[in-house]
Amino acid sequence: MTLLALTLTPLTASLIAFIGVSGLLGALFMLLDGNGSSNVESRLDVLAGKKPAKAEGTQVTRETLVKEGVNGLTGAVGKLMERFSNLKLLFVQADTTIKLDHFMLIMAICGVVGVVLGMVGNVPAPVYPLCALGGSLMPFGWLMFKRGRRFKKFAKQLPDAMELIGRALRSGHSLASAMKVVVDELPDPISKEFNIAYEEQNLGIPLEQALKNLYLRMPNMDYKFFAMAVAIQRQSGGDLAEILDKIGHIIRERIRILGQVQALTGEGRISGIVLMALPILLFFAVWKLNPDYVMLLFTDELGRQMVAVAIVLQILGAVTIKKIITIKV
């Protein structure tokens, strides 16, 4: 036992941990997708002649098996992602045409690139898994950044949309044709989202349901007020144009107050960024000057415990700063 502990290098320990986690995820996926393996075995038995085909429409051919094998990775990734989270909605909200399987492949390639860059930069071997994790998460960060930027544009365009709909209603247009005015007059993303809702109601979907679908794609609280106002007005009546004018005024005031809050909390946000980045930059600076001194954090048991505590404290500090500087309006 002592000999094994002496010969276990940090790189070996990192590789064992990585292989163990990968094997655990693979085992969980196989357990969750147990029906697929039984179906494949039964089809192979039919192809080999051990079992007769149940019906003429269910005959198994080699071409069918080849086609299913080519598309197997896409289906497996899609099933796994649908079990844990609705990632497809993120792609819709970010307005990207990348498919889920292609995105997962890009994440894997970025993870490999992160490890290669770590090797080129002579990063300590125990940090290789972190390099792979950071590289693989970069495409996901890009996706969330694009999604958030689209949400912000939609929120800024919403007051203008409320005013356009209110003016169109006063001039005698219906609500559907007023939404068409927004599609024609305003730029993306609000024009694209309202156009989808407009086309949905043209195809027979109730207008309230079309507006709810738009809220799923754009979860904006101000827009939710608009959808609720439309639903209430269609049930009980009222002056929808006046309501939309008030909603637009409230949205503009909220945007103005949020701008003031951003200016007042700018110092706290910059302080949080500096405090979070300083330990990481200091680690790489000391490692560049004296690598043997830094490697004690990974080779010694007490050093590994210190690294774990430091990571936990970093996360707690980031959450605390985020709560301090986040002010709801």
262, 285, 314 - which closes a domain: 262
3-class DSSP string for 211-272: HHHHHHHCCCHHHHHHHHHHHHHHHHCCCHHHHHHHHHHHHHHHHHHHHHHHHHCHHHHHHH
In this prediction, residue 36 carries a pLDDT of 45
Helix (H, G, I), strand (E, B) or coil at 22: helix
222 and 178, same structural domain?
yes
Among the listed residues 82, 83, 75, the one whose alpha carbon sits nearest the alpha carbon of residue 101: 75
**Do 125 and 11 form a contact (C-beta atoms < 8 A)?**
yes
Tell me the CB-side half-sphere exposure of residue 241, using CA atoms within 13 A. Answer: 12
**pLDDT tens digits, one per residue of 225-280:** 888 888 888 888 778 888 888 888 888 888 888 888 888 878 778 888 888 888 88
Number of folded domains that form the chain: 3
Mean pLDDT of 272-293: 84
In this prediction, residue 222 carries a pLDDT of 86
Q: What span, in angstroms and rounded, lies between the C-alpha atoms of 197 and 181?
A: 13
317 and 277, same structural domain?
yes
In this prediction, residue 123 carries a pLDDT of 72
**Do 27 and 80 form a contact (C-beta atoms < 8 A)?**
no
Task: Say if 105 falls within a structural domain.
Answer: no
Greater confidence (304 vs 162) lies with 162
**pLDDT tens digits, one per residue of 73-113:** 555 555 555 544 577 888 888 888 888 888 889 989 998 88
pTM for the predicted model, two decimal places: 0.63
Q: Which domain range does residue 191 map to?
A: 149-262
290 and 253, same structural domain?
no
241 and 205, same structural domain?
yes
Task: Say if 9 falls within a structural domain.
Answer: yes
Greater confidence (124 vs 295) lies with 295
257 and 293, same structural domain?
no
In this prediction, residue 263 carries a pLDDT of 83
273 and 248, same structural domain?
no
221, 242, 262 - which closes a domain: 262
In this prediction, residue 240 carries a pLDDT of 85
194 and 257, same structural domain?
yes
* pLDDT over 70 (residue 26): no
Task: Say if 84 falls within a structural domain.
Answer: no
Mean pLDDT of the chain: 77
190 and 252, same structural domain?
yes
Confidence tier at 290 by pLDDT (50, 70, 90):
confident
300 and 242, same structural domain?
no
**Do 325 and 254 form a contact (C-beta atoms < 8 A)?**
no
Quick one: what percent of the chain has pLDDT higher than 90?
Answer: 9
Q: What span, in angstroms and rounded, lies between the C-alpha atoms of 324 and 264?
A: 12
Per the document, the length of the chain is 329
In this prediction, residue 17 carries a pLDDT of 55
212, 241, 262 - which closes a domain: 262
Mean pLDDT of 116-129: 78
Mean pLDDT of 170-197: 89
DSSP 321: H
As a whole number of Å, the CA-based R_g of the chain is: 28
> What DSSP string describes 63-100?
HHHHHHHHTHHHHHHHHHHHHH--HHHHHHHHT----H
